[in-house]
């Protein structure tokens, strides 16, 4: 694995006050794997090809791990995994998108 491409690193998100949790893992011949959806997922969305499938794993639902969802356009291509029951996950995502849309 290598460091994030320079287009994802900037003086504005290094150190305190930067992006919140979001890790992307690209493996050959596999869908993109994204761990958590903090604010870092916004800039990640700019690097994903239209229609590219991805797997999004939400480790938990603290705000700093889901607050990027409203700004993540490729969410329509995501298969979302979490420890929540499907109905609870849907409710959490609807609240996130409708009440905290940027």
Q: Is 90 left (phi over 0), alpha (psi -120 to 50) or beta?
A: alpha
| Domain extent listing, the chain | 19-99
Q: What is the tens place of the pLDDT at every residue in 34-93?
A: 999 998 899 899 999 889 999 999 999 888 899 899 889 899 899 999 998 888 888 888
Q: What is the pLDDT of residues 32-51, one digit of tens each?
A: 999 999 988 998 999 998 89
Residue 9 pLDDT: 58
* Stronger pLDDT, 5 or 75, i.e. the higher one: 75
Choose between 100 and 72: higher pLDDT.
Answer: 72
Locus of tokens 């890790």: 23
Measure the CA–CA gap between 72 and 98, rounded to whole angstroms.
14
Those residues whose C-beta lies under 8 Å from the C-beta of residue 25, and which sit 6 or more positions away, are 1, 32, 33, 34, 35
pTM: 0.77
**Mind listing the pLDDT tens digit for each residue in 6-33?**
555 566 656 666 788 899 999 999 999 9
């Amino acid at each position: 694995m290598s460091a994030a491409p320079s287009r994802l690193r900037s003086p504005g998100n290094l150190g305190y006050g930067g992006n919140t949790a979001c890790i992307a893992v690209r493996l050959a011949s596999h869908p993109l794997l994204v761990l958590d959806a903090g604010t870092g997922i916004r800039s990640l969305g700019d690097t994903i090809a239209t229609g590219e499938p991805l797997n999004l794993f939400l480790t938990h639902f603290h705000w700093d791990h889901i607050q990027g969802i409203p700004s993540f356009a490729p969410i329509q291509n995501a298969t979302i995994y979490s420890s929540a029951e499907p109905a609870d996950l849907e409710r959490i995502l609807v609240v996130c998108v409708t009440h905290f849309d940027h």
